[in-house]
Amino acid sequence: MSSIGMVLADSSVIAKRNIIKIRRIPDLLVGTLISPIMFILLFAYVFGGSISVPGVDYKEFLVPGIFAQTVIFGATITGSGLADDMQKGIIDRFRSLPMAQSAVLVGRTASDVITNILVVIIMASTGLVVGWRIRSSFLDAVVGFVLLLLFAYAVSWIMALLGLLVRTPEAFNNLTFITIFPITFVADTFAPTQNFPAVLRTVAEWNPVSSLVRAAREQFGNVPPGYPAGSWPLQNPVLYTFIWIAAILLVFVPLATRQYKRAAAR
Amino acid sequence: MSVAPPTVGTMADAVVARGLVKRYGDVTAVAGVDLEVPQGTVLALLGPNGAGKTTTVRMLTTLLVPDSGTATVAGVDVVADPREVRRRIGLSGQYAAVDENLTGFENLDMVGRLYHLGRRRSRERAHELLEQFRLTDAANRVAKTYSGGMRRRLDLAGALVANPPVLFLDEPTTGLDPRSRNDMWELLSSMVGQGTTLLLTTQYLEEAERLADDIIVIDHGRVIARGTADELKTQVGGQRVEVVLASDREVRETERVLREQFRGDVVVQQRARRVTASVSGGTTDLVEALSRLSAAGIVPLDAGLRRPTMDDVFLTLTGRPAEEVVGETGDDKDDATTKREAHA
């Protein structure tokens, strides 16, 4: 078997295993699917009345933000799954097999994409129920969804590195909870950055989560053409987001791979 | 990496290690282990927790790269060509590495696919092994619902998926209840009868004796003895008479009586009020000792003939009891797990 063929074949075996697991652990599925629905409902009906976005219906503004936050959380399954596998000795079993060793990480991150596709479908349906609409062309919308999934895929590799570093799923979950909330809130996600204090506003405008959300809104046609852009990243959100995706993958794929080899060899 | 000695074992050795060393910071886990396992035979690495058994196995199975020394498995160098080695080995670790959210069948099928047996052959092999390991009824249940013994059997089945010529088992029965342990021994004996080369680690002399052709005793990362079970037991002094007493006065008295009878090797454990003497005459020696004690007016709380334990091996070989890192007997799986996490 050629080495690329072997990586793909082994990765699909690993991905299949992870998908089976998600089906078998209901709380994982519930956590991943219910929390975004809850977020959409809470923000739309509790905060929605108090947050005003000039020229835009808040629900239209909100739903792409929830998409971004949720797919980023979806990417954390890679980290907790790897930490769990380390703890239970399953990585040792994989390491003793003549398989492509990169398949453990490639398969793991790929299965997060599959869960995220499922999550996006559920969220989009909930969004449609509360009044969110795609007002652009089909192709534009597809680009929006692909961008969300690609960004989450890149984040999976950061999570892979973190999961391998902390080595227990509990520690990993605490770590991601306290980091992902600020990163996704200090952004153009749930409230417009215009009202942020100056320093926070600058941080938010350069935060790739902002550009991701802005790109998604534009691709879905959720903001009107003349919507205030702000700094360069928000003027070119698709490009800026792609640069981040590429940069994260370039840095974290090798780092996570190296950490996998190290962590397994202890 | 140091230069290996010219002797690299014979062609008939399935596993050869020369001068294996592994250090973690200041701690030397394995300090120059040499071993060879002739094809079709069983070698037991015997030693307490923390002796370096697992580290040795991890180096031989390509999970760890040795700091120095060389090793070949089925003729392939473990450092130079790990993937070729992995094709030829099966490994079952100390912590049953089954995915508890997959069924027994799914676990084995996955391992078969990762050995690149192909879709159909992986499925067939999974069913064969489930049958062989008496797990057919549980094949479609998630492994989470399995008993400890069933998980171990499933883990062992995982190591056998590709019919590897060389098998490594790290403490295959640690944490099992006596009945499951017996089951496992029977399974392993029948496998070895079919020509598999096996290297196993254990904390139990009884297990080594029952399964292994050769035994290597390892302590603080060094080989301190090697030989067949009989040879080791001869070194340890075979059987012992053990007497437990009610008072310190009786302990002193008993020590005197037994020294007189057996001339020499008598060990006194003050706190346990236990006196032990190596004997060669079996029950005759026990009866004789009891009648002597009775004549001296001593009534033991307990007395009997004991087979040598690993503690005895250690006492004899190192002049001190086996240093247990965890618990009294070190066979509590949960304790061992806690210890591993604490080190992580």
Any idea which of A72-86, A219-233, B112-126, B228-242 has the lowest mean pLDDT? B228-242
Q: Which residues contact B156 (CB under 8 A, 6 or more apart)?
A: B92, B133, B169, B172, B184, B187
8 A C-beta contact, residue B23 and residue B67: yes
B91 and A93 in contact by Cβ < 8 A? yes
Instruction: Identify all chain A residues contacting B115, using CB atoms and an 8 Å cutoff.
Output: 97-99
Distances (CA, A) of B74 to A39, A194, B188: 58, 68, 20
Q: Which residues contact B89 (CB under 8 A, 6 or more apart)?
A: A96, B61, B73, B74, B164, B166, B167, B168
Tens of pLDDT, residue by residue over B267-304, are: 888 888 899 888 877 788 888 888 888 888 888 889 88
Evaluate if residue B7 carries a pLDDT over 60.
Answer: no
Instruction: Identify all chain B residues contacting A80, using CB atoms and an 8 Å cutoff.
Output: none
User: pTM for the full model?
Assistant: 0.79
* In chain B, % of residues over pLDDT 90: 41
Instruction: Identify all chain B residues contacting A92, using CB atoms and an 8 Å cutoff.
Output: 63, 91, 93, 97
Higher-confidence residue of B106 and A36: namely B106
Beta carbon pairs, A and B, within 8 Å: 79
Q: For the residues B96-113, what does the mean pLDDT come to? A: 92
pLDDT at B187: 85
The ranges of chain A with pLDDT < 50 are none
Which alpha helices (DSSP H) does A131-197 contain, by range? 138-166, 169-185
Which residue of B89, B142, B344 is in closest CB contact with A96? B89
Query: Which tokens is B55 given?
Result: 């580290």
Query: Which tokens is A58 given?
Result: 């808040």
Distance CA B183, CA B211 (A): 13
Q: Which residues contact B10 (CB under 8 A, 6 or more apart)?
A: B38
Which residue of B87, B98, B100 is in closest CB contact with A98? B87
How many angstroms separate the CA of residue A91 from the nearest CA in chain B?
A: 8
Evaluate if residue B81 carries a pLDDT over 70.
Answer: yes
A93, A165, A168, A170, best to mutate vs chain B, most B CBs in 10 Å = A93
A87 and B86 in contact by Cβ < 8 A? no
pLDDT band at B252 (very low <50, low <70, confident <90, very high): confident
Tens of pLDDT, residue by residue over A48-70, are: 778 878 778 888 888 999 999 99
**Residue A135 at interface with chain B, using a CB cutoff of 8 Å:** no
In the block, tokens 């080190």 appear at B343
**Residue A22 at interface with chain B, using a CB cutoff of 8 Å:** no
pLDDT at B42: 94
B101 and A24 in contact by Cβ < 8 A? yes
Q: For the residues B68-91, what does the mean pLDDT come to? A: 94
User: Among the ranges A22-31, B65-74, B168-177, which has the highest mean pLDDT value?
Assistant: B65-74
Distance CA B217, CA B224 (A): 6
How many angstroms separate the CA of residue B181 from the nearest CA in chain A?
A: 21
Which residue of A10, A24, A265 is in closest CB contact with B65? A265
Higher-confidence residue of B313 and B99: namely B99
pLDDT band at B326 (very low <50, low <70, confident <90, very high): very low
Instruction: Identify all chain B residues contacting A9, using CB atoms and an 8 Å cutoff.
Output: 113, 116
Task: Assess: ipTM above 0.90.
Answer: no
How many angstroms separate the CA of residue A13 from the nearest CA in chain B?
A: 7
Evaluate if residue B332 carries a pLDDT over 60.
Answer: no
CB-side neighbour CA atoms (13 Å) of A191: 15
**What are the two backbone dihedrals, phi and then psi, of residue B14, each rounded to the nearest 5 degrees?**
-80, -30
B102 and A20 in contact by Cβ < 8 A? yes
A96 and B114 in contact by Cβ < 8 A? no
